[in-house]
C-alpha cells in the first residue's frame, strides 16, 4: 500500500508553502509531517494567497483528528486518507474545502551504487577485516540486506493487510528475521561455549549447564526468542567475567599469602620537546637579522647578521602584541615592554608568508605553555577527509596528518607540533572499525609521541568519522553524541550519507559531520537534497536545541567529506587550467561554489581559499595523470577532474576561529582521491566559576532587556507568532507573548513586531562580565497555531553589553534555508562589581593595514579576506544593500541604497570593521545624532537614537525617515542579491530572492524637494546596525571605487571629530587611537567624556577600564604611549617607528 500522493512526508514548511504558491489555486492542499509534534501531521491549505496550517494529532487509540479550538468537538478518523476525504466536503470548519491535492515529486531512482570508481559499495563486514583486502565480497551483511529487501518488496504488503484485519502478529517479518539471523546461531554458540568454559575455571561450584545451551541442542528450528536469549546470556557473561576473575585472584592471593611481583608501569613516551627554531628576517630596508624562538624557555632572541651574541632577548611575558600586516603577507610587527614605562615596536619581514605564520604560531604556543591558566583559551583542531577508494591505506600517512603537500600547508618548523583534536573522516573505507582506529592512533603516536585518546567513532557502512584528543584533554570532553543518516537509494542504503559527532570541550560546543553525497556531474540537485536530508535528520548536540537548525546548535560546526560537486567545464579546458595553476577560472565553474552563491547549500558557511589542484579523479599509483574516462557496459562515462573533497565550517558570531592550512597531499596514491586536510585555531571557553557569590538585590544581578524586535519572514501564513529564547546562560528557555502587530500586505512576506511589553526580561544564571562575554542567545520564531518554527537565529551577547540599548540585525534560518530577517534593540546590563575580566590568549595577535597608508581612513577595496584586528567570527563587513523585504514594507526603493553618490561608505575602514573586539566593547559604534539632528530638540534626538521606528509625514514615500547616510548604512543580507535571471531557475514561487530581483529592476524617479531622500537635506544620524553573522564579505567593487573618490569631500562626521587638514596630525582621540590600531575603543571613550587630546594625556588606568578598554595589554600600551608623548607630539599621534 503506497502513501497518498498528497502526503509529502517530512518536507519543511517553506517547501510546502512554495509548492502551494506554484499551484496557485484556492483549495490546493498537501499534508506533511509536523515539525513540532512527533507522529503528528500538518495540513497546509491555500486560500486567498495565504497558507493556512492545521495540525492533525493522534490520540491514545491512534485515531486522527484536526486540532480545534476549545469547546469544539473534534472529528476522529482511523486513517489519514479517511480524514482528508471527509474534509473535501463543504462546511467542515476549514476556510475552504480541500479541492486540489498537490502531488509530491517522484524520487529519482537512477542513483548508481558508486559512481566514482566503478567499484561496488557494500555494507561493512560484521567481522573487522585483517590484512590487505582489495575488494568486498558477499557476506552475512549483504545476505541480510537481501532478505530485508525481499521482505520490503514482497511481504510487507501482506503484513500490512493482516494488521488491518486485526492480526497483530507480523508473521512474514518474523520469518524474514529468523531466516536472516540463522547464521548468527552458530557464531553465538561457538562464542558462548568458550565463555562458559572460561567462566567455569573461576567458578568452583560449577553451575549446571546453561538452559539456553540445552535449548539450543534440542531445538531444531530456533526462533527469535531463543536468539535473543542467547545474546542476553553472552552479554551477562561478558559483563560478569572480569569481576569473577578479579575476585578469584584476590581470594587466591589472600589465602596463600602471595606477594605479587612489582610490575614496572610502562609510561607513555614523553612528548618530543620543541626544538629551538631560527628565522632569517629583514629589519628596516637593508639590515638582516636572525630571530631565535625557544618555546621551552619562553624567550625570543634577535641577533644581527655577523654578530655572535644576541642583540636583545625578549621573554614571553614582555611581548604585548603581535601585528600581522595584510598589505605585506610576510611582514609582522612586534610590540614589547623594555621597561616599566616604555614599550618598543620592531618590524620584521620574513622570507615568505608561511615563515611568518610559523613564527607567529610558535610565539602563540610559547604564550600558551607559559601561561598560568588552569584551562586553555585556545586549542588547535585538525580536520581531514579522504575517499579511500575501497583500498587499504599506505603504511605511512605522515603527510596527511602533518598537513604537508599542496595548497596552504604548514611550514616544516611547525608541522610536527601536535594538534589538540584530530577529526578524521573517510569514505569507501574497507578497514574494520577497530582496525582503522588503531591504525590512526599508531600513526599519530609514531609522529607525535603521544598516545591519543578516542572520543568517538561513528560508522555508516564504509563512511567513518574518528575523533581523537590529547590525553590531557580527555577530562574536558563531555556530552558526546553520534548520529548517522542514509541518503543512498530511496534514503535506505548507507553507501551514501553522513556520520556526525558532537561534544562539549569545557564550555564550547563542537559539531563534526563527514558525508558522502551523490556522485555524477549531472546530479547537483540530488547532492543539494542529500545535504538537506542530512541537515534535517542528523541528531546531534543538546536535545533542548533539537528544534533549531543544525548549523545553529554549536559554537563551531565543521562539515567535510566527499561532497562530489564537480566542475562544469570541458575536460581539456580543465586540464589546461590545472597545468597553469589557474584555479580561479576553475572555481568560477565549481558546482559547490555556484550552489552556495545561490544559497542552495551551506548557507553562511566558510571555506578557506583553494590553492591546490582538483583532488579527483587521479590514476591510482601516481599523482601525475587524471583518469577522466571510465568504460562501462553502458558506454563511456566522463568524470572530469574536480574538487570533490572539501572542508567547510560555520561558527557562531563573535567567536574566535582561524584556518591556518587547507590543502591536499601529493604522495598518497592508493586511491583515486587525494586526502585533504585543514587546521584551525579555535578559541574555547572554560566552565566559569564566579569569584564571589551573587547578591540578591536587582542591582547586583545581570539582566537582558529588549526594547523592541521586528521580524520579516518569508511565508504565506498570517499566523500570530511568539519568540522562544534559549541559551546556556539561562536556567530554562523563555517565551515571549504573541506579536503586538503584523502586516502581510506584500504576498509572500509577513512582518511581525514585538514591543518591550511582550518581551521577557531574561536573567542569566551568572552575572560576571567574563562569563557573559562568551554567551550567545538563540531565538526561534514560532507560530501560535502550530508551534512550528518560522526561523531561528543567533545573537552574540558580547556586542550587546552596556547601559544603552544596542541595535542588532541578523538572519533567520530554518532547515538550512534563509527564511527572513530580524532586527531590534536590546541591552545586557552587568553590575559594576561584576565587570572585571581578563585578556584571552588569542587577543594579543592582531591584523593591521600598512602604516604607509593615510592617517585618515581610506576606503580602497580590501583584500579578499577582510582585514581584522583579531580573527573572530565577527559581523560581516556589510554591503551597501539592505534586505529588500524592508524596502517593500518601508517604501524605500532598492535602487537608492545602491547609489554610491548619495551615500557614505558602507562601513568603517578595514581596521575598524574587523576591529579588535575586546571584552565589553561593541563591535560597531553606538548610534549617534550628528549634523542633521543638531537642530532638533533633545527629546527628538533621544527618540531618533533609541527607537528604530521614526514618524514621517504621510506625504513622503517612505515609512521610516532615512537620511542619505542611513541609506548607505542600512545593511542588506547577501542572500537577497540575485544576479541571475529567475526565469532560468524554473521557480515561480513567491520567494525573497524573486522579490529582490524585481526590486533591483525598479526605475525610481528623482526625489522631490522636501522628501526624506532629497539631497538638500542635511545628513542625519548614522544607523550602524549590528550584524550577527559569521561570513566576511567585502562590498561590491564599484561602491568602493565611488567611496574612494569621495573620501576627500565627504567625511565620516564622527562625534567629537572633524576632518583632517592638509597635515597628517590627528585632531582627535579617535585618530590618535587609530595610529595604534585601537580605534575600536573610541566610542566608549567619547561616552565617558574623553574627546579632547589635551585632557586625554591625564587618563588613568581606571578611567580606561570604565570606558571599555578591558584588555590589560591595551591599557598598558595606551598608557605607555601617552607617557612617551609630549603635549605637542601627542597632536602628531603615537610613534610606531622602532626606537633607536
- Are the beta carbons of 790 and 715 closer than 8 angstroms? yes
794, 552 contact by CB (below 8 A): yes
Whether the pLDDT of residue 772 is over 50: the answer is: yes
Alpha helices (runs of H) in 223-352, residue ranges in sequence order:
224-256
Residue range 632-650: mean pLDDT, rounded: 90
pLDDT tens column, 1087-1101: 777 877 777 877 888
User: Cα torsion for 1010, 1012, 1013, 1019, to the nearest 10°?
Assistant: 100
Residue 563 exposed, middle or buried by CB count within 10 Å (0-12, 13-18, 19+): buried
Q: Which residue has the higher pLDDT, 4 or 515?
A: 515
Q: Cell 528450528 appears where?
A: 221
Alpha-carbon separation of residue 217 from 185, 221, 226, 237, 1100 (angstroms): 11, 10, 11, 20, 89
Element (H, E) at 362: helix 353-369
Residue 1067 has a pLDDT of 56
Nine-digit cell at 1123? 607617557
Confidence category of residue 874, pLDDT binned at 50, 70, 90: very low
Q: Determine the Cα–Cα distance for residues 1046 and 1069; give it in Å rounded to an integer.
A: 24
Check whether 924 has a pLDDT greater than 60.
no
Using CB atoms within 10 A of its CB, is residue 138 exposed (0-12), middle (13-18) or buried (19+)?
Answer: exposed
Give the pairing of strands 635-638 and 629-632.
antiparallel
The mean per-residue pLDDT over the stretch 383-391 comes to: 96
| Mean pLDDT (whole number) for 749-777 | 94
User: Distance between CA atoms of 305 and 677, rounded to whole angstroms?
Assistant: 37
Largest CA distance in the chain: 108
Whether residue 316 has pLDDT greater than 60: yes
Query: pLDDT band at residue 744, thresholds of 50, 70 and 90?
Result: confident
Confidence of residue 835 (pLDDT cuts 50, 70, 90): confident
Between 280-294, 418-432, 434-448, the lowest mean confidence (pLDDT) is in: 280-294
pLDDT band at 284 (very low <50, low <70, confident <90, very high): confident
- Give buried/exposed letters for 683-706 (b at 16+ CB in 10 A, else e): bbbbebeeeeebeeeeeebbebbb
Q: What is residue 389's predicted lDDT score, i.e. its pLDDT?
A: 94
Burial class (CB in 10 A: 0-12, 13-18, 19+), 218: exposed
| Contact (CB, 8 A) for 564 and 617 | no
Helix (H) or strand (E) holding 42: strand 41-47
Residue 1123's φ and ψ, nearest 5 degrees, are: -70, -30
Kind plus residue range of the DSSP H or E element containing 439: helix 433-448
Lowest mean pLDDT among 123-127, 318-322, 1027-1031: 1027-1031
Cross-strand pairs, 626 = 618
Q: What are the distances in angstroms from CA 1117 to CA 340, 645, 1094, 1139?
A: 11, 45, 18, 15
The owner of cell 534559549 is 726
pLDDT tier at 569, thresholds 50, 70, 90: very high
Beta strands 817-829 and 703-714, pairing class: antiparallel
Query: Tell me, what's the pLDDT at 746?
Result: 83
pLDDT of residue 156: 67
Tell me which residue has cell 570541550.
505
Pick the residue with more confidence: 1003 or 684? 684
- How do residues 512-545 score in pLDDT, each as one tens digit? 999 999 999 999 999 999 999 999 999 999 988 9
Measured between alpha carbons, how far is 630 from 134 in angstroms, rounded to an integer? 19
What is the rounded average pLDDT of the residues 637-646? 94
Give residue 796's pLDDT band: very low, low, confident or very high (50, 70, 90). very high
How far, in Å, are 39, 72, 151, 783, 967 from residue 964 at the CA level?
Answer: 53, 55, 69, 37, 5
Query: For 1058-1065, which contacts have Cβ atoms below 8 Å and span 24 or more sequence positions?
Result: 1059/856, 1060/855, 1060/856, 1064/854, 1064/855, 1064/1132, 1064/1133, 1065/1131, 1065/1132, 1065/1133
For the chain, the 3-state helix, strand and coil shares in percent, each to the nearest 5, are 30, 25, 50
- For residue 542, the tally of other CB atoms under 10 A from its CB is 16
Confidence of residue 252 (pLDDT cuts 50, 70, 90): low
Q: What is the pLDDT of residue 146?
A: 64
What number of residues does the chain have?
1140
The H-or-E segment that residue 630 falls in is strand 629-632
Q: How confident is the model at residue 1134 (pLDDT cuts 50, 70, 90)?
A: low
Query: Are β-strands 331-339 and 406-408 bridged in parallel, bridged antiparallel, or unpaired?
Result: unpaired
Distance from C-alpha of 1039 to C-alpha of 395, rounded to nearest angstrom: 54
Measured CA to CA, the distance from residue 850 to residue 1076 in angstroms comes to: 12
The count of C-alpha atoms lying within 13 angstroms of the C-alpha of 1093, restricted to the half-sphere facing its C-beta, is 21
Give the mean pLDDT of 666-684: 97
Residue 170 pLDDT: 64
DSSP type of residue 677: E
Least confident segment among 65-74, 751-760, 1004-1013 = 1004-1013
The answer to whether residues 830 and 1110 touch, using CB atoms and an 8 Å cutoff, is no
Bridge partners of residue 512, in order along the sequence: 501, 558
**What local confidence, expressed as pLDDT, does residue 259 receive?**
52
Rounded CA separation 1101/1098 (Å): 10
pLDDT higher than 80, residue 698:
no
Lowest-pLDDT range of 371-380, 438-447, 788-797 = 371-380
CB 726 within 8 A of CB 780: yes
- How far is it, in rounded angstroms, from Cα 507 to Cα 770? 13
Sign of torsion, CA 93 99 104 106? positive
User: How does 232-267 read in b/e, with b if 16+ C-beta sit within 10 Å?
Assistant: ebbeebeeeeeeeeeeeeeeeeeeeeeeeeeeeeee
pLDDT digits (tens, 9 = 90+) for 471-524: 999 999 999 999 999 998 766 677 899 999 999 999 999 999 999 999 999 999
Residue bearing cell 548610534: 927
User: Binning pLDDT at 50, 70 and 90, where does residue 171 land?
Assistant: low
Cβ burial of 1103 (10 Å; 0-12, 13-18, 19+) is middle
Q: Write down the pLDDT at residue 492.
A: 67
Q: Quick one: pLDDT at residue 367? A: 86
Q: Can you give the pLDDT at residue 233? A: 74
Backbone angles phi, psi at 660, to 5 degrees: -95, -20
Cell numbers describing residue 333: 610587527
Which of 1028, 1027, 658, 1042 minimizes the C-alpha distance to 865? 658
Give the distance, in angstroms, between the CA of residue 89 and the centroid of all CA atoms in the same chain: 48
In angstroms, the CA 1020 to CA 61 distance is 65
Are 702 and 761 in contact by the 8 Å Cβ rule? The answer is: no
Phi then psi dihedrals of residue 914, to 5 deg: -105, 40
Beta strands 378-387 and 406-408 are unpaired
Residue pair 898/906 in contact by the 8 Å Cβ criterion: no
Query: Does pLDDT of 876 surpass 50?
Result: no
pLDDT band at 710 (very low <50, low <70, confident <90, very high): very high
Confidence of residue 182 (pLDDT cuts 50, 70, 90): low
pLDDT band at 643 (very low <50, low <70, confident <90, very high): very high
488: left (phi over 0), alpha (psi -120 to 50) or beta: beta
Q: How many helices (H) and strands (E) does the chain have?
A: 29, 37
Going by C-alpha positions, the residue among 773, 923, 766 that lies closest to residue 839 is: 773
Q: In degrees, to the nearest 5, what angle opens at C-alpha 609 toward C-alphas 605 and 612?
A: 130
If you average pLDDT over every residue of the chain, what do you get?
A: 75
Is the Cβ–Cβ distance between 106 and 9 less than 8 Å?
Answer: no
What mean pLDDT comes out for the span 843-851?
70
Please tell me the least confidently modeled range out of 201-215, 281-295, 523-537, 913-927.
913-927
Sign of CA dihedral 525, 530, 533, 535: negative
Neighbours of 943 (CB within 10 A): 15
Between CA 476 and CA 373 the distance in angstroms is 14
Of all residues in the chain, the percent with pLDDT exceeding 70 is 65
pLDDT of residue 918: 37
pLDDT value at 99 more than 50 = yes
Is the confidence at residue 899, as pLDDT, over 50?
Answer: no
Helix (H, G, I), strand (E, B) or coil at 70: coil
Contact between 600 and 565 under an 8 Å Cβ cutoff? The reply is no
pTM as predicted: 0.67
pLDDT of residue 181: 66
Residue 1046 pLDDT level (bands cut at 50, 70, 90): very low
C-alpha cell at 1061: 587638514
**Confidence at residue 909, expressed as pLDDT on a 0 to 100 scale:** 34
Amino acid at each position: 500500500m503506497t502513501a497518498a500522493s498528497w502526503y509529502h512526508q517530512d518536507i519543511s514548511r517553506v517547501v510546502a508553502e512554495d509548492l502551494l504558491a506554484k499551484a496557485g489555486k484556492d483549495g490546493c492542499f498537501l499534508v506533511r509531517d509536523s515539525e513540532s509534534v512527533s507522529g503528528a501531521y500538518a495540513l497546509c491549505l491555500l486560500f486567498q494567497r495565504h497558507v493556512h496550517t492545521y495540525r492533525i494529532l493522534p490520540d491514545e487509540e491512534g485515531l486522527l483528528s484536526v486540532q480545534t479550538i476549545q469547546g469544539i468537538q473534534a472529528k476522529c478518523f482511523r486513517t489519514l486518507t479517511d480524514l482528508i476525504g471527509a474534509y473535501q466536503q463543504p462546511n467542515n470548519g476549514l476556510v475552504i474545502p480541500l479541492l486540489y491535492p498537490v502531488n509530491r515529486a517522484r524520487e529519482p531512482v537512477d542513483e548508481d551504487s558508486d559512481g566514482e570508481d566503478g567499484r561496488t559499495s557494500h555494507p561493512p563486514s560484521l567481522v573487522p577485516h585483517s590484512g590487505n583486502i582489495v575488494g568486498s565480497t558477499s557476506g552475512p551483511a549483504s545476505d541480510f540486506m537481501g532478505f530485508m529487501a525481499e521482505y520490503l518488496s514482497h511481504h510487507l504488503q501482506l503484513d500490512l493487510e493482516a494488521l488491518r484485519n486485526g492480526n497483530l502478529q507480523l508473521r512474514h517479518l518474523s520469518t524474514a528475521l529468523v531466516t536472516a539471523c540463522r547464521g548468527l546461531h552458530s557464531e553465538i554458540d561457538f562464542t558462548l561455549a568458550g565463555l562458559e568454559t572460561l567462566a567455569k575455571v573461576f567458578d568452583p561450584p560449577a553451575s549446571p549447564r546453561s538452559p539456553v545451551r540445552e535449548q539450543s541442542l534440542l531445538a531444531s528450528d530456533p526462533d527469535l526468542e531463543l536468539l535473543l536469549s542467547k545474546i542476553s546470556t553472552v552479554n551477562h557473561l561478558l559483563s560478569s567475567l572480569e569481576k569473577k576473575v578479579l575476585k578469584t585472584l584476590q581470594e587466591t592471593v589472600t589465602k596463600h599469602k602471595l606477594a605479587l611481583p612489582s610490575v614496572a608501569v610502562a609510561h607513555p613516551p614523553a612528548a618530543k620537546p620543541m626544538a629551538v627554531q631560527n628565522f632569517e628576517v629583514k629589519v628596516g630596508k637593508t639590515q638582516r637579522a636572525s630571530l631565535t624562538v625557544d618555546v621551552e624557555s619562553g624567550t625570543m632572541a634577535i641577533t644581527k647578521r655577523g654578530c655572535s651574541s644576541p642583540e636583545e632577548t625578549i621573554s614571553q611575558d614582555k611581548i604585548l602584541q603581535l601585528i600581522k600586516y595584510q598589505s605585506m603577507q610576510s611582514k609582522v610587527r612586534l610590540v614589547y615592554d623594555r621597561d616599566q614605562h616604555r614599550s618598543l615596536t620592531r618590524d620584521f619581514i620574513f622570507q615568505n608568508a608561511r615563515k611568518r605564520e610559523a613564527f607567529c604560531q610558535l610565539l602563540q604556543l610559547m604564550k600558551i605553555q607559559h601561561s598560568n591558566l588552569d584551562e586553555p583559551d585556545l586549542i588547535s583542531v585538525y580536520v581531514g577527509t579522504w575517499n579511500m577508494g575501497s583500498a587499504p591505506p599506505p603504511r605511512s600517512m605522515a603527510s596527511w596528518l602533518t598537513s604537508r603537500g599542496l595548497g596552504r600547508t604548514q611550514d616544516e618548523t611547525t608541522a610536527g607540533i601536535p594538534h589538540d583534536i584530530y577529526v578524521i573522516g573517510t569514505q569507501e573505507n574497507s578497514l574494520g572499525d577497530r582496525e582503522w582506529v588503531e591504525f590512526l592512533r599508531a600513526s599519530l603516536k609514531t609522529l607525535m609521541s603521544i598516545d591519543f585518546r578516542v572520543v568517538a567513532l561513528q560508522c555508516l557502512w564504509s563512511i567513518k568519522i574518528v575523533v581523537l584528543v590529547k590525553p590531557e584533554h580527555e577530562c574536558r570532553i563531555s556530552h558526546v553524541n553520534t548520529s548517522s543518516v542514509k541518503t543512498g537509494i530511496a534514503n535506505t542504503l548507507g553507501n551514501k550519507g553522513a556520520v556526525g559527532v558532537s561534544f562539549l570541550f569545557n564550555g564550547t560546543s563542537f559539531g563534526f559531520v563527514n558525508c558522502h553525497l551523490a556522485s555524477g556531474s549531472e546530479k547537483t540537485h540530488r547532492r543539494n537534497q542529500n545535504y538537506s536530508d542530512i541537515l534535517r535528520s542528523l541528531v546531534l548536540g543538546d536535545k533542548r536545541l533539537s528544534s533549531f537548525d543544525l548549523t545553529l546548535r554549536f559554537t563551531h560546526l565543521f562539515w567535510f567529506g566527499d561532497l562530489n560537486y564537480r566542475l562544469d567545464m570541458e575536460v581539456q579546458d580543465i586540464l589546461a587550467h590545472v597545468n597553469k595553476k589557474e584555479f580561479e577560472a576553475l572555481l568560477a565553474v565549481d558546482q559547490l561554489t555556484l550552489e552556495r552563491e545561490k544559497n542552495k547549500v551551506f548557507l553562511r558557511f566558510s571555506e578557506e581559499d583553494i590553492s591546490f589542484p582538483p583532488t579527483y579523479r587521479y590514476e591510482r599509483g601516481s599523482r601525475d595523470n587524471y583518469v577522466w574516462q571510465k568504460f562501462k557496459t553502458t558506454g563511456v562515462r566522463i568524470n572530469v577532474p574536480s574538487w570533490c573533497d572539501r572542508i567547510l565550517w560555520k561558527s557562531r558570531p563573535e567567536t574566535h576561529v582561524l584556518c591556518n592550512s587547507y590543502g591536499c597531499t601529493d604522495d598518497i596514491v592508493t586511491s583515486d582521491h587525494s586526502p585533504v586536510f585543514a587546521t584551525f585555531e579555535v578559541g574555547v571557553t572554560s566552565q566559569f566559576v564566579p569569584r564571589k557569590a551573587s547578591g540578591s538585590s536587582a542591582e547586583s544581578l545581570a539582566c537582558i532587556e529588549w526594547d523592541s524586535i521586528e521580524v520579516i519572514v518569508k511565508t504565506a501564513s498570517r499566523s500570530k507568532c511568539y519568540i522562544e529564547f534559549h541559551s546556556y546562560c539561562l536556567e530554562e528557555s523563555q517565551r515571549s507573548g504573541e506579536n503586538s502587530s503584523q502586516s502581510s500586505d506584500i504576498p509572500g512576506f509577513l512582518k511581525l513586531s514585538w514591543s518591550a511589553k511582550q518581551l521577557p526580561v531574561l536573567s542569566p544564571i551568572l552575572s560576571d562580565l567574563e562569563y557573559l562575554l562568551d554567551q550567545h542567545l538563540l531565538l526561534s520564531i514560532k507560530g501560535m497555531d502550530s508551534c512550528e518554527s518560522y526561523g531561528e537565529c543567533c545573537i552574540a551577547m558580547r556586542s550587546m553589553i552596556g547601559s544603552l540599548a544596542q541595535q542588532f540585525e541578523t538572519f533567520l534560518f530554518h532547515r538550512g534555508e534563509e527564511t527572513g530577517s530580524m532586527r531590534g534593540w536590546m541591552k545586557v546590563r552587568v553590575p559594576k562589581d561584576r565587570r572585571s575580566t581578563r585578556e584571552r590568549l588569542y587577543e594579543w595577535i592582531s591584523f593591521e593595514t600598512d602604516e604607509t597608508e593615510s592617517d585618515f581612513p581610506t576606503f580602497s577595496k580590501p583584500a579578499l579576506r577582510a582585514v581584522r584586528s583579531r580573527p573572530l567570527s565577527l559581523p560581516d563587513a556589510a554591503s551597501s544593500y539592505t534586505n529588500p523585504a524592508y524596502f517593500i514594507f518601508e517604501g524605500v526603493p532598492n535602487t537608492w541604497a545602491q547609489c554610491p553618490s548619495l551615500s557614505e561608505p558602507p562601513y568603517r575602514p578595514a581596521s575598524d570593521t574587523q576591529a579588535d573586539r575586546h571584552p565589553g566593547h561593541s563591535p560597531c559604534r553606538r548610534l549617534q545624532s550628528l549634523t542633521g539632528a543638531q537642530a532638533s530638540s533633545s527629546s527628538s534626538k533621544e527618540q531618533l537614537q533609541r527607537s528604530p521606528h521614526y514618524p514621517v509625514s504621510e506625504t513622503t514615500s517612505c515609512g521610516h525617515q532615512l537620511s542619505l547616510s542611513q541609506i548607505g548604512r542600512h545593511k542588506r543580507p547577501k542572500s537577497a542579491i540575485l544576479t541571475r535571471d529567475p526565469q532560468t531557475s524554473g521557480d515561480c514561487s513567491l520567494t525573497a530572492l524573486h522579490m529582490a530581483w524585481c526590486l533591483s529592476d525598479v526605475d525610481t524617479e528623482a526625489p522631490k524637494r522636501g522628501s526624506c531622500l532629497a539631497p538638500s537635506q542635511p545628513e542625519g544620524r548614522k544607523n550602524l546596525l549590528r550584524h550577527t553573522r559569521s561570513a566576511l564579505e567585502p562590498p561590491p567593487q564599484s561602491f568602493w571605487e565611488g567611496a574612494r573618490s569621495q573620501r576627500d569631500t565627504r567625511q565620516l562626521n564622527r562625534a567629537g571629530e572633524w576632518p583632517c587638514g592638509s597635515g597628517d596630525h590627528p585632531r582627535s582621540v579617535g585618530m590618535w587611537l587609530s595610529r595604534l590600531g585601537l580605534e575600536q575603543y573610541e566610542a566608549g571613550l567619547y561616552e565617558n567624556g574623553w574627546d579632547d587630546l589635551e585632557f586625554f594625556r591625564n587618563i588613568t588606568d581606571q578611567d580606561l577600564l570604565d570606558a571599555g578598554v578591558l584588555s590589560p595589554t591595551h591599557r598598558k600600551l595606551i598608557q605607555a604611549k601617552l607617557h612617551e608623548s609630549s603635549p605637542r607630539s601627542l597632536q602628531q599621534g603615537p610613534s610606531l617607528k622602532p626606537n633607536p
